[in-house]
Structure 1
Amino acid sequence: MTDPAQPPKPGVNQWKTLDKDLHRIGLLEEATQFVSRPLVAPGLALAFVVLAGLLAAVLTGAQAGTAIIVAAAVIGAYMALNIGANDVANNMGPAVGAKALSLGWALLIAAVFETAGALIAGGDVVKTVATGILSPDAVPDSGQFTWAMMAALLASALWLNLATWLGAPVSTTHSIIGGVAGAGIVAAGWGAVNWGSLGMIALSWVVSPILGGLIAAGFLALIKARIMYVADKIAAALFWVPVLIGVMAGGFATYLIYKGLGALLHVSLGTATVIGLATGVIVWALWRPVVRRQAAGLENRKKSLRKLFAFPLVASAALLSFAHGANDVSNAVGPLAAIVQMAGGNGISGEVSIPLWVMVVGALGISVGLVLFGPKLIQLIGSEITKLNPMRAFCVALSAAVTVIAASWLGLPVSSTHIAVGGIFGVGFYREWHAERRAQMLGLQKGRPVPVEERSRRYLVRRAHLATIGTAWVVTVPVSALIAAGLYLAMTAFAG
């Protein structure tokens, strides 16, 4: 036995036991941090939801229906978090995938512009509950209408949460409409639902991605034919890049005025288009010298062209986020505002006034959800479907604005989510077709045809994502409806 009074022998570590204990503590700390890290985002999300409920309680005071309003505020905040986690990825994914923006800058820009769009242009009045899918007059009493809206809001939020976890970008508008329809059927019967509107929504499942994909592929074909595969690429870019940026500016100006700022300006589509055309011409004239300066000293190769598309791509992502915040915030705050108005003893006659605090909950919820949970789908959209560079991503962003305007002129329903994802698939499939065509031409010219089996393995689009996303789109409305129907029955049974 070692005498404590004796000095330790040379070469003997007298701190061996202490070192082992400290090592165990260090490993325990590392394990604790590893386990707790995934809980940070849900914890912050829970804190935001609780704060939304407290805000509703403070602002509504002791008036009748306060408990219902607080519960609705909590569910509305949860819905806004899921909108930010799922839908905003469509705006920022292409820019991140093209490496025009880092993920951190993308989250910051999207959060700022989503919040600005929601608060500035979100509007203080929206149509009753998801574009008239369910009318309050069709529901027997105000209490049942309130429970139907609560069930619809929670059902759509739960489905968005599941879709985000599965890695499937879905339409938040379709989610809330499905929830309203499902709860409305249980509350008031099949006749309470506007089936014509639901039919148009089903049509948008097909129209939106195909139209977005074709337009994005068309712009990419133009860029390849007129800029990338010509002898003097820089000279071609000096002409075409300002033209494309002018088209982008005109398209976004029309989109923002007609869709994003419609609640403030109340302009017709024709007037918005004229303003957009004027904006496009002005931006084209202003951007020509900018492109000339950027192109100075660039080598005559395809990689050099990416520099000319980087800033326009970032600008388009920011504008898309602003327009998204202005439009889709109503998916969270529309039903919430209807509940607040009904619970306060005020009837609903076709329109729902949105209080400022409700808009703040929706706007901040979208941004918080984006920052906490958005990176997963941003990475999926930006890099896992097909490889994007600034030119391809620019085509996707440009197609989003142009498709919405074209569909508005044609009177066709479209989904911004489906357009953006369809645009990415359109760019990817066009790349496959173009690569196949060039492989055939080059193979024949060199006397070594590329075997069909080899070419078939050169896929540039991941088919697994096509199946997953397509399935999620198709089941969004029915799944949201079924969840809402079950929740409505549970809520009304609990309420007695």
Structure 2
Amino acid sequence: MVTSLLVVVVMLAIIFDFINGFHDAANSIATIVSTKVLTPFQAVLWAAAFNFLAFFLIKDHKVANTIAKTVHENFITMHVILAGLVAAITWNLITWWFGIPSSSSHTLIGGFAGAGMTNALFLGANAWNAVDTHSIFTIAAYIFLAPFIGLFIAYVITIIILHIFKNSRPASAERWFKSAQLVSSGALSFAHGGNDAQKVMGIIYVALIASKVIPPDAKMPEWIPLACYSAIALGTMSGGWKIVKTMGSKITKVTPLEGVSAETAGAITLFVTERLGIPVSTTHTITGSIIGVGLTKRVSAVRWGVTINLLWAWVITIPISALVAALVFTIIHFTQ
């Protein structure tokens, strides 16, 4: 039986995916807008189309499965899921307001884990028993690994491209790279949709199991991926201009060549981690990639003050989201 609480949770999950879309739109379009290959309006339409394309081509939802198993089944209730979503939406809106490209993935994971651990405490259990610590620590490790992988790949790709085109006329080379950016940004948008939409799929799937609408071993209903990919695509179309400014110009000045390198590196990293079922942050990955192309010029080409501020935001996202979720769950617990 479908309860009103389940309807609220599913709606909040889809709203989170929409917010994820406009919060993370910058990941896909920042470089293509800053290099003036596309106008902002054209860029968000382009990114949204490739975000949604992932629905038709990605059917093995390993990332969704990882998210669903972050909190152990015994400690998952509808109120745990509700508190996690409220916390994730809150932190996403705060970081969007201040133009901070934080991770939507990590705020969702932190919120879900924080609510689950608080539930364990109220049940008289050890808080850590509520979560799959292996998954949590793997995800936390990729806060640092994902940007470094993106940085390394972007650096190598840029060096290779510079070597191949070293004798080319600058004007003709730039025209080629502007065309190539359409492909690389499309690939990054596709990878973003395939990676990030799955995170909310896992949450909705768990909610259906917790409310006993479907059995624990049931296949994920097809409407869940459709709803999540649609929401993230629509969110992307609404843009996220404060974060676009940070990603596209504040970290380092990006040329079309460097845009191709950064986007290609980000897409490669996301494709690989999605296949491995690791819910990494698109934001962290593309930020590292942009830093990587900046380093090919000189170390001082990267604005390290901005980068360090972003790093702090990344580090505190999971614990703050967990604390907000714990507070929300506690309020729900005592007002039932």
TM-score range, shorter chain: 0.7 to 0.9
**TM-score normalised according to structure 1 size:** 0.61
Q: 1:478 aligns with which of 313, 319, 326?
A: 319
CA, structure 1 residues 478+421, in 2 after alignment: closer, same or farther (shift >3 Å)?
Answer: same
What letter matches 2:244 in structure 1? I
Question: For structure 1, which runs of at least 5 residues remain unmatched after alignment?
Answer: 1-63, 235-299, 434-458
CA, structure 1 residues 157+354, in 2 after alignment: closer, same or farther (shift >3 Å)?
Answer: farther
1:390 aligns with 2:256: yes
1:338·1:352 contact (CA, 8 Å) conserved in 2? no
Deviation at 1:381, TM superposition (A): 1.4
1:200·1:413 contact (CA, 8 Å) conserved in 2? no
Q: 1:168 aligns with which of 92, 96, 100?
A: 100
1:133 aligns with 2:1: no
Instruction: Provide the aligned length of Structure 1 versus Structure 2.
Output: 330
Q: Distance between the aligned counterparts of 1:127 and 1:73, measured in 2?
A: 15
1:312 aligns with 2:244: no
Q: Distance between the aligned counterparts of 1:145 and 1:197, measured in 2?
A: 20
1:134·1:193 contact (CA, 8 Å) conserved in 2? yes
Aligned pairs for 1:140-179 within 5 A: 145-179=77-111
2:87·2:325 contact (CA, 8 Å) conserved in 1? yes
SS state of the match for residue 348, structure 1? coil
Q: Which residue of 1 aligns with 2:146?
A: 208
Q: Which residue of 2 aligns with 1:249?
A: none
Q: Distance between the aligned counterparts of 1:406 and 1:181, measured in 2?
A: 25
CA, structure 1 residues 109+427, in 2 after alignment: closer, same or farther (shift >3 Å)?
Answer: same
Q: 2:308 aligns with which of 467, 490, 493?
A: 467
CA, structure 1 residues 419+135, in 2 after alignment: closer, same or farther (shift >3 Å)?
Answer: same
Q: Could you tell me the percent identity over the aligned residues?
A: 28
1:217·1:427 contact (CA, 8 Å) conserved in 2? yes
SS state of the match for residue 212, structure 1? helix
1:84 aligns with 2:21: yes
Report the structure number with the largest CA radius of gyration.
1
Q: Which residue of 2 aligns with 1:365?
A: 231
Q: Which residue of 1 aligns with 2:124?
A: none
SS state of the match for residue 431, structure 1? coil
Q: Distance between the aligned counterparts of 1:335 and 1:323, measured in 2?
A: 20
Q: Distance between the aligned counterparts of 2:190 and 2:59, measured in 1?
A: 10
CA, structure 1 residues 184+122, in 2 after alignment: closer, same or farther (shift >3 Å)?
Answer: same
CA, structure 1 residues 126+306, in 2 after alignment: closer, same or farther (shift >3 Å)?
Answer: closer
What letter matches 1:153 in structure 2? L
Aligned pairs for 1:219-238 within 5 A: 219-228=157-166, 233-234=167-168
2:66·2:135 contact (CA, 8 Å) conserved in 1? no
Q: 2:283 aligns with which of 417, 441, 447?
A: 417
Root-mean-square deviation (CA, aligned residues, Å) is: 2.7
Q: 1:117 aligns with which of 22, 46, 54?
A: 54
CA, structure 1 residues 488+413, in 2 after alignment: closer, same or farther (shift >3 Å)?
Answer: closer
1:118·1:327 contact (CA, 8 Å) conserved in 2? no
CA displacement 1:268-310 (0-9 Å, x = unmatched)? xxxxxxxxxxxxxxxxxxxxxxxxxxxxxxxx3x233111112
1:94·1:381 contact (CA, 8 Å) conserved in 2? yes
Aligned pairs for 1:304-343 within 5 A: 304-343=172-211
CA, structure 1 residues 119+157, in 2 after alignment: closer, same or farther (shift >3 Å)?
Answer: farther
Deviation at 1:467, TM superposition (A): 2.1
CA displacement 1:189-214 (0-9 Å, x = unmatched)? 32121112221122212211112112
**TM-score normalised according to structure 2 size:** 0.88
Q: Distance between the aligned counterparts of 2:318 and 2:270, measured in 1?
A: 21
CA, structure 1 residues 127+95, in 2 after alignment: closer, same or farther (shift >3 Å)?
Answer: closer
Q: Which residue of 2 aligns with 1:103?
A: 40
SS state of the match for residue 169, structure 1? coil
Q: 2:156 aligns with which of 194, 215, 218?
A: 218
Deviation at 1:327, TM superposition (A): 2.4
Q: Distance between the aligned counterparts of 2:278 and 2:15, measured in 1?
A: 31
What letter matches 1:157 in structure 2? I
